[in-house]
Amino acid sequence: MNTILTGVLFFSGLALTVTVILHIAAQKTASGQKNTGRPAGTNKIRLDDDFPDYRPRVQNKTQKRKKSPSRKRFSLSGSLHFNSLVSEIPLLEAGLPEYVYIPLKLPHINALPRLTVKKGDKVRAGSLLAQNKKYPEADIYASVSGKITGIENISDAFGAEIPAVIIKVEKDDFEPSIDLSPDIIREIPYSEKEIISKIRHSGIFSLAGAESMENVFTGGQKISRLIINGIDAEPFPGIRENLLCKKAEQIIIGAKILNKAFGIQNALIAINRKRPDILKLVSGLTRRYVGVNTRSCPAYYPSGQKNLLITAITGREISAGRRPENYGFMVLNAEVALAVYEAVLKNKPLCEHFITINKNGKSTSFCTRLGTPVDFLLKKLSLSPENGKIILGNVLTGREVLNSKAPLTGQDSKILYLVPSEQISGPCIRCGKCLEACPLHLQPYAIASALQSHDQDRLKQLHAADCIECGACAFVCPARIPLLSLCRQSKTEFKNN
């Protein structure tokens, strides 16, 4: 008996050893070999596990509703919730850089403005640089005072060539017509027409999210509801909640101006449900303003997205290919409302915008002049692009900055500084997590495999073109399949066909 037992013990010990050795061997090969699994493995960068600032979880509950519209609500289940520790973020003045570069063509505006200045001219902050008489939305304003040292092609943050005006900063002053006092003006002494013309001639259409307004100006849709988006709901806090803390009243007045301009009865300021402090502050202020209300909204990623915000508030879904304006909704970001206030009541065209810089979960917001180079802000925080990656945009969707001398435009609001670490992608294990995470209920794994087989019909069937490129699917994928890149690719594939 004893001999048998010894033999058996010996065998199991041997088996265990073999297991361990094989595992170590397999792991070695895994780390030595980078591009392994399907789909064509791409390496990923990631932060370390013990990242301080977020705890993601996928919500499984259907969202509760307050006022029930008669329609059945789209279930907002399975979106990403980032319980970021929202703390007060400082909002600093970035100051003046040595040079600013002001792009002459805005990517989302088709009309081209004509230059009104030439090389060597002196300009003041807030004066016109380029004008389109028929389409004033495309106008370009100087954001600093100084001398134009060149009008030439520069390379933007991702390496593309864009025409730009280069201004050497000389003085810190503005056009004399601009009201620079910090007092808040509460009366709106202008008529609808005057307001609209002031907004159109203010250059605020370079801000992200102002396209809605542009569409209404050109398309003339009737707007019945204005929503001011004050939700960041991103892994890292952004500027909107910060602005609502610090400039709430100006934003409310901006909403009132917009109400008047578009003949809207009621504007809603959407506020992150996890920030009761902001809700308290803003709703205390809105009591003084008729026609502006607050609404606390579920803060999940990506609820800052226009269409999803409308769905969260009203229960209406925006079909693919249509715009909120077609349904009578207009969603504007809090920054835009602030810019409207300044343009209309302070006569100030868009010169400044807000950038939040995040390093390892710690954020700082800056108010900077348009066209400030990226590295000017980086230097402010003594970050150098050599050690880490500079990402322009959201941590789930942003793109890596290739040229850190490139200027920031109104489309940018976030810079991230990350130290990269390797991610290895493996084969899809069919866990269904991407499906759960997609806010539109698409099937990212299926889109990825349809893309690999170039199956156009299948892509169409899967509504691949509806994807809003939020990156939630790629975030949750345990196999680290680059689902976001694949979804983007499938969208371009659509466009090309």
Binding residues vs ligand SF4 (CB under 6 A): 428-434, 437-440, 442, 444-445, 467-473, 476-479, 481, 483-484, 487
Residue 112 and residue 131 in contact, taking contact as beta carbons nearer than 8 Å: no
Shortest separation between residue 467's beta carbon and ligand SF4, angstroms: 3
Query: CB under 5 to 8 A by kind: which of another protein, ligand SF4, none does 12 bind?
Result: another protein
CB 321 within 8 A of CB 297: no
Bridging pattern class, strands 352-359 and 292-297: unpaired
The smaller minimum CB distance to another protein, of residues 197 and 489, is found at 489
Residue placing its CB nearer to ligand SF4 in the complex, 139 or 234: 234
- Cα angle 170-172-178, degrees, rounded to a multiple of 5: 130
DSSP states of 44-107 = EE---TT-SS--EEE--SPPP-SSPPSSPPPP-TT-EEE-----PPPEEE----SEEEEESS-T
* 444 interacts with, out of another protein, ligand SF4, none, CB within 5 to 8 A per kind: ligand SF4
Q: Give whichever of 263 and 427 is closer to ligand SF4, judged by the CB atom.
A: 427
487 binds, among another protein, ligand SF4, none (CB under 5 to 8 A by kind): ligand SF4
SS3 414: strand
Chosen from another protein, ligand SF4, none, partner binding at 481 (C-beta under 5 to 8 Å by type): ligand SF4
Cβ distance to another protein smaller for residue 159 or 284: 159
Which one of ligand SF4, another protein, none interacts with residue 123, CB within 5 to 8 A by kind? none
Tokens of 263: 């003949």
From the list ligand SF4, another protein, none, pick the one residue 320 interacts with, judged by a Cβ distance below 5 to 8 Å according to partner type: another protein
CA dist 431 and 410 (Å) reads: 39
Rounded to a whole number of angstroms, the minimum distance from the CB of residue 13 to another protein is 8
Select 216 or 484, whichever has its Cβ closest to ligand SF4. Answer: 484
CB of 168 to another protein, least distance (A): 35
> CA-to-CA distance for 344 and 198, rounded, in angstroms?
6
367 binds, options another protein, ligand SF4, none, Cβ within 5 to 8 A by partner type: none
Q: What is the nearest approach in angstroms of ligand SF4 to the Cβ of residue 108? A: 20
Query: Is residue 211 a contact partner of residue 355, using CB atoms and an 8 Å limit?
Result: no
Cβ distance to ligand SF4 smaller for residue 249 or 469: 469
CB of 395 to ligand SF4, least distance (A): 14
Report the C-alpha gap between 486 and 101 in whole angstroms: 33
Closest CB to ligand SF4 among residues 39, 373 = 39
Residue with tokens 């519209």: 69
Closest distance of CB 484 from another protein, Å: 6
Task: Give the Cα separation of 462 and 453 in Å (integer).
Answer: 14
Residue whose CB is less far from ligand SF4, 251 or 448: 448
CB of 489 vs another protein, minimal distance in Å: 8
CB of 43 to ligand SF4, least distance (A): 16
CB 269 within 8 A of CB 252: yes
The token pair that represents 276 in the structure block: 């009761």
Q: Which does 185 bind (CB under 5 to 8 A by kind): ligand SF4, another protein, none?
A: none
Query: Do residues 216 and 206 make contact, with C-beta atoms less than 8 angstroms apart?
Result: no
Are the C-beta atoms of 146 and 170 separated by less than 8 Å? yes
